[in-house]
Amino acid sequence: MRYVVDCRHNGKLENQFLELGIWGKPCFAWAIESVMSMRGGEMFTVLTQSAFIRDYCRMHYDNVEICAELPDYEGMTVWISGYAPCLSVDTLRGAMERFEHIGQADCAVVSAANVPAYNHEKDILPLYSGTKLEESNAFAIFKGVGKRKTYLYLVPPQEMVVVNSRNDFELALVLKKKQESGVILEQMIDNIIADKQEILSHSNPDKSICLVGHSQLDQWNIAELGGYKVRNCGISGISSFAYDEKILQQGKLNCEADAFIVMHGTNDIVYEHTLDEITHSIRKNLDYIRRHNGQAPILFMACAHVNGRLDRNNALIDQLNEALRKELISNVEWMELAFLDDQYGHLAEGYTKDGLHLNEEGYAVLQAVVEKKLQELNL
């Protein structure tokens, strides 16, 4: 197995985008680090004639071979463009599985862009060779050299950008920031769970209500609700999938409480999950509580509407709420949140600080309605 990151400069481009910084690292370094996440400790090759790239690689990476031109090699080669900073390890592994499934020596699996005709003996594919979209490929996997039949591998659009122009570079900045934000969010969630370890694991000796869910509960600064002492086990940024994985499956949630308020959904819809997958995940969270506490009532809050958010939309929220209500209505006390909406069906501006999270006035209204609901249920 040979891993090659193609970092040759392209004289046709308006700028040497390889060496421009993308959130603290040169463009090519992101491609290299995707390879390093895959290869274990194996040697990999950086193809370049740039002294800067050569010295950077020798300073930052172990087991790196620097070549100006690619030597012949008959084994399997994973070839990645240094101009493709957004490729993920999962995409590359999926493409490798595709190549192995085909099982032919005279084929290549390449990223799903328009692929030009080629018959290069050494360069294999023009991964870096021009500003036209049809000549931009993020990666190729092949065996040996010479002509071969090409199989395309579908790459998520957010990973497909190959930096051949200023517009490509600006798009890569946006997409890479989004990818890195996911890493930051993951760390933030882990930190909150660690900070709340005692709250999660210890019950309140007084009459108590346990809040389970995401930031709209986590950020609710309330000590008592309808005569119940509040144990706030909400985690900002978390989805129902992550709550199950990071908290419930780890046995971190003590379910000794007299009642529960559960709110999940708004962080689930920002990922590529189907409604069925989301409702199943939320049901798993509720089933966990039921298994560990069969007596306490569960008040499930519908997913709240948003106002002016690009990352979430109210049409999808309505679909999710409808699916959840059908799935959960027999096992929970369902609570609509339409009282937080304006006349257009958006989260009212007076109740929110950012179109998603509630402000103090929003929480005051929520508290009044929840306490009335608890009274109606004789809780």
- At residue 124, the pLDDT reads 39
For helices 275-292 and 314-328, give the axis angle rounded to 10 degrees. 40
The pTM assigned to this predicted structure is: 0.67
DSSP string, 29-75: HHHHHHHHHHHTT--EEEE---HHHHHHHHHH-SSEEEESSPPP--S
Q: What structural domains does the chain harbor?
A: 2-181 (3.90.550.10), 196-376 (3.40.50.1110)
Buried b (16+ CB within 10 A) or exposed e, 28-38: bbbbbbbbbeb
Listed in sequence order, the residues at least 6 apart from 118 whose beta carbon sits closer than 8 Å to its beta carbon are 124, 125, 126
Q: Which of 56-70, 75-89, 118-132, 359-373 has the lowest mean pLDDT?
A: 118-132
The string of pLDDT tens digits covering residues 33-63 is: 999 888 777 789 999 989 999 999 999 998 8
- At residue 247, the pLDDT reads 97
Binned at pLDDT 50, 70 and 90, residue 115 comes out as: very low
Adjacent-strand bridge partners of 108:
142, 150
Torsion angle (degrees, nearest 10) of CA 308, 309, 314, 317: -160
Q: What share of the chain is helix, strand, coil (3-state, %, to 5)?
A: 40, 20, 40
- At residue 360, the pLDDT reads 96
Q: How far is CA 291 from CA 202, 240, 273, in A?
A: 18, 17, 26
Residue 219: CB atoms within 10 A of its CB come to 15
- At residue 234, the pLDDT reads 97
Residue 287: CB atoms within 10 A of its CB come to 13
The string of pLDDT tens digits covering residues 74-102 is: 788 898 989 999 998 989 999 899 888 88
CA 190 to chain centre: 15
DSSP secondary structure letter of residue 315? H
| CA nearest to 33, candidates 176, 184, 170 | 176
pLDDT averaged over the chain? Answer: 87
Look at residue 353 and give its three-state secondary structure.
coil
The yes-or-no verdict on residue 66 having pLDDT over 90 is: yes
Task: Give percent above pLDDT 90 in the chain.
Answer: 56
- At residue 158, the pLDDT reads 81
Q: How far is CA 81 from CA 86, 252, 310, 315, in A?
A: 11, 43, 31, 39
The yes-or-no verdict on residue 71 having pLDDT over 70 is: yes
- At residue 39, the pLDDT reads 76
Binned at pLDDT 50, 70 and 90, residue 117 comes out as: very low
CB 347 within 8 A of CB 341: yes
